Amino acid sequence: MKKLNNKGFSLVELIIVIAIMVVLIGLLAPQFVKYVEKSKESTDVQNLDSIVTVCQAYMADQPSAEITIDGASGVFVITGMPDTFAASDDGKSVTGVKIKGDWSTTALKAVVATDGKITYTGEAKYIKVTDNAFVGK
């Protein structure tokens, strides 16, 4: 007499479960990648805003020429400030915060005028400038 005490899954059942998981991952992966890209671009905008705030604070104490923060090169390059203030971790005196990843088409830029006015420009895959502020597309 056979025992009907089968504990476990058959090979067919396991293959069906794996096939269902592959289909679900195939459907969800592109959405996940899109959210990761949005998150990285949002981080870039926050970094730019942080640099602009520091530049405004500097200009309040030390009146200087117009300061430009440009992210087109993959790092936020700061021009118009003394080298000692704009120094960075890689030793280049004008290099600011690194933009998140080489994948990005981010070209964020901000100009802080001597009167304190900030002008934002730039556009990326999921972010653009509207009314002098970065917003999602």
Which stretches within the chain are classed as H helix?
11-61
CA distances from 40 to 44, 45, 86, 107 (A): 6, 9, 23, 13
- Average predicted confidence (pLDDT) for the chain: 76
Q: Which CATH class is domain 11-136?
A: alpha beta
In angstroms, the CA 100 to CA 118 distance is 23
Number of residues that make up the chain: 137
Domain residue ranges of the chain, discontinuous segments joined by +: 11-136
**The dihedral formed by the CA atoms of 46, 49, 54 and 57, expressed in degrees to the nearest 10:** -140
Maximum C-alpha span of the chain: 96
78-123 tens-digit pLDDT = 877 765 555 454 434 344 555 655 545 567 888 888 887 888 888 7
Of 32-41, 47-56, 92-101, 105-114, the least confident: 92-101
